[in-house]
Amino acid sequence: MKRKDASGALDRALGFFVLLPLVIVPAYFFARSEVSREVSRFDRWRAVAIGLLDLGHEVPDEHKEALDFRFTVKAGEVDEFGIAKGTVVQAFDAFGRTIKVPPDEEGKLVELAGLARAPSQKDPKCSLLDEEHIVCAKTTNESTVKGAKVRATPVRLDFFLPFVVLLLGSAFVFLYSFFIGVRERAVATAMGAICAVASVLAIRSCANRTLDFLVASESLLPSVPAPQHHLETGVGFVLFVTLVTACLVFFLASPAKSFMENIRQRPSVYAAIAPALIGMLVLVFIPFFMGVYLAFLDNEGNFIGLQNFAEILFPSGTSDTNFYFTLGVTIMWTVLNVSLHVVIGLFLALVLQSERLRGRSIYRVLLIVPWAVPNYITALIWKWIFNTQYGPANAFLALFGAGPVDWLGRSFWTNFLANLVTNTWLGFPFMMVISLGALQSIPQELYEAAKIDGASRWAQFRHVTLPLLKPALFPAIILGTIWTFNMFNVVYLVSGGAPDNKTNILITEAYRLFRVLKNYGMAAAYSLIIFAILLVYTALTNRYTKAEESVYE
């Protein structure tokens, strides 16, 4: 191989600087998430072990059904034996309802004992009083509330060492590639892998130290045996990290190098894009990948693999609005809407097209009003129009003696129609404007030639206008399809999914999972499926448009 010059080496070195975070950062976050999961499991265990001290509080009869109680105890003093005194301030049952504290209990000084633990806001049975005090309570079979007051040391995972490893590792790779030149990618690959493994191991050892500290403090409570909590670092794990890192470095080394070469040659180009790119990274791409991660979690934050997807794609069949029903509604919604937009828009454009038409611009302005009005306002206007009692839609029907229709009531079709009419009103101006623009660009001579050939108006439209409109209309239709497919505002604000979420399209159904059912994992999985559908659609249409274009060229 040819000997590299110094600047080439610099490029490679810089390339590694870019590359390294790509490798190490995911490894770091992976290890950290494991550790925090371990710590939170530890918290749960701690909460169960708490029912040790009798607070002397009888459970009121009306709350007997709730097993777990939460007590808020005002922090008192902590003596040298770790026994704290506090006053009962507030009590909640497991459902978060406030329980009346009996008058003789209120403000009563209670003795509490306990030890350091990680304050966890996740645990519903424990509450954080102030920086140093938390209290947990649990009912026993005898229905007395028992609780423990603890002096808590906030647990911070100490990640100083891993950062040192990261820094040293990257410096090492940097120096390495600068002096020697990365002729063999394999060596670089090994370097990256070692760095990643080392940092992950370091992170884990830190975590284990933290866990040890927790366990040690727990075991001060004599009757509770301290559990062993350690993160095992098996061969499989090390192999996994090594492999992933190796693959990443191997395949990214050369693009990273040329990328850096490019940056050095054209710094201004990258500088021009950088702000946009960094913004997109932080506020679009990172949230996206965090969202993707959410799709694999249950509501407690446990990793459950593909279960959310399985639940959506293989519904159990008890509910009548499953994914496939909603998908069907969405497809029908999209096809009907886009066809109506195109037909109405194109027709209006053809009528408006004539140069001699007087008042042409007035008509045009009036016809794009729906586009200009904010679409949530439009949706709400139409919700009013379809109101059963005082909406103009029924007033109009009454002119013909037709009875009032409960548009947004129990019928699927009237709800769907209301949504459809709203969105048609909203969407045709876009297609009209696009068609107008495309029509203007068709040379007049073609029509003259067609006339000379004796073509009828229809034949002119069919053989001249339509083919020449296609290149402009096609992308607009694709764009319109994506917009309509995800037209949240109209469906959400007009029918709101009534009846029984049947008129929901995929995007509003995902929102329902998110907002109403608060099932974030499922909502994320649902959204990902929507994304996949759109991606496939665009990929297919993209191919088709390219094929079309090549025919015309």
Partner 1 sequence: MSSSRTPPKWSSLLRHAFLAVFAFLTILPVLWVIKIALSGEDTFQGSELSPIPSVLSLKNFSDVVLARDAQGNWLFGRQLLNSLIVSGLTTVIGISLACTAAYSFSRFRFVGRRSLLMLFLVSQMFPGILMMVPLYVIMQKMGLLDTLVGLVVVYSITSLPFSVWMLKGYFDTIPKDLEEAAIIDGASPVRVFTSVILPLAMPAVAITALFSFMSAWNEFVLAYTFMSKETSFTLPVTIRNYVGEHTVKWGLFAASSLLVSIPVVSLFFALQRYLVSGLTAGGVKGG
**Residues within window 330-349 making contact with partner 1, judged by CB under 8 A:** 348
When the beta carbons of 20 and 529 are compared against partner 1, the nearer one is 529
DSSP state of 462: I
Q: Is 270 in the site for partner 1 (CB under 8 A)?
A: yes
The CB-of-65 to partner 1 minimum distance in angstroms stands at 30
* Options 26, 56, 82, 370; binder of partner 1; rule CB under 8 A: 370
Token pair 């777990």 is at which residue?
A: 68
The CB-of-245 to partner 1 minimum distance in angstroms stands at 22
What span, in angstroms and rounded, lies between the C-alpha atoms of 412 and 502? Answer: 7
Q: Is 487 in the site for partner 1 (CB under 8 A)?
A: no
* Options 399, 452, 547, 551; binder of partner 1; rule CB under 8 A: 399
Sheet containing 133-139, strands listed edge to edge, beginning at the edge strand earlier in sequence? 53-58, 144-151, 133-139, 126-128
With CB under 8 A as the rule, give the number of residues binding partner 1.
102
* Options 249, 438, 450, 490; binder of partner 1; rule CB under 8 A: 438
The Cβ-side half-sphere exposure at 90, using a 13 Å CA radius, reads 9
The CB-of-106 to partner 1 minimum distance in angstroms stands at 31
Q: Is 325 in the site for partner 1 (CB under 8 A)?
A: no
Span from 2-10, 14-22, 321-329, 531-539 in contact with partner 1 (CB under 8 A): 531-539
Span from 35-43, 318-326, 453-461, 497-505 in contact with partner 1 (CB under 8 A): 453-461
| Contact yes or no for 119/134 (Cβ under 8 A) | yes
Q: 412-440 and 466-485 helices cross at what angle (nearest 10)? A: 140
Q: x/- string (CB under 8 A) for partner 1, residues 45-84?
A: ----------------------------------------
Burial class of residue 128 (count of CB atoms within 10 Å of its CB; 0-12, 13-18, 19+): middle
| Contact yes or no for 502/325 (Cβ under 8 A) | yes
Neighbouring C-beta atoms of residue 500, cutoff 10 Å: 12
* Options 42, 386, 416, 520; binder of partner 1; rule CB under 8 A: 520
Question: Residue 454 is encoded by which pair of tokens?
Answer: 């004796």
* Options 354, 401, 550, 553; binder of partner 1; rule CB under 8 A: 354
Question: Residue 441 is encoded by which pair of tokens?
Answer: 């660009």
Q: Is 377 in the site for partner 1 (CB under 8 A)?
A: yes
Asked if the bond preceding 499 is cis, omega within 30° of 0, the reply is yes
> What are 69's strand-pairing partners?
93
Q: Is 467 in the site for partner 1 (CB under 8 A)?
A: no
Q: Is 384 in the site for partner 1 (CB under 8 A)?
A: yes
Q: Is 262 in the site for partner 1 (CB under 8 A)?
A: yes
What span, in angstroms and rounded, lies between the C-alpha atoms of 361 and 358? Answer: 8
When the beta carbons of 67 and 304 are compared against partner 1, the nearer one is 304
Span from 17-25, 102-110, 113-121, 283-291 in contact with partner 1 (CB under 8 A): 283-291
* Options 385, 417, 490, 505; binder of partner 1; rule CB under 8 A: 385
Span from 62-70, 178-186, 305-313, 357-365 in contact with partner 1 (CB under 8 A): 357-365
* Options 476, 487, 491, 498; binder of partner 1; rule CB under 8 A: 476
* Options 64, 266, 462, 543; binder of partner 1; rule CB under 8 A: 266
Q: Is 488 in the site for partner 1 (CB under 8 A)?
A: yes
Span from 35-43, 79-87, 292-300, 409-417 in contact with partner 1 (CB under 8 A): 292-300
> What are 53's strand-pairing partners?
147
Q: How far apart are the first and last CA of the chain?
A: 44
The Cβ-side half-sphere exposure at 67, using a 13 Å CA radius, reads 4
What span, in angstroms and rounded, lies between the C-alpha atoms of 158 and 171? Answer: 22
Q: Is 356 in the site for partner 1 (CB under 8 A)?
A: yes
* Options 479, 516, 517, 540; binder of partner 1; rule CB under 8 A: 479
What span, in angstroms and rounded, lies between the C-alpha atoms of 541 and 534? Answer: 10
* Options 103, 222, 275, 401; binder of partner 1; rule CB under 8 A: 275
The CB-of-511 to partner 1 minimum distance in angstroms stands at 6
> What are 433's strand-pairing partners?
none
Q: Which of 332, 342, 377, 376 lies closest to 470 in space, CA to CA? A: 342
3-state secondary structure of 12: helix
3-state secondary structure of 219: coil
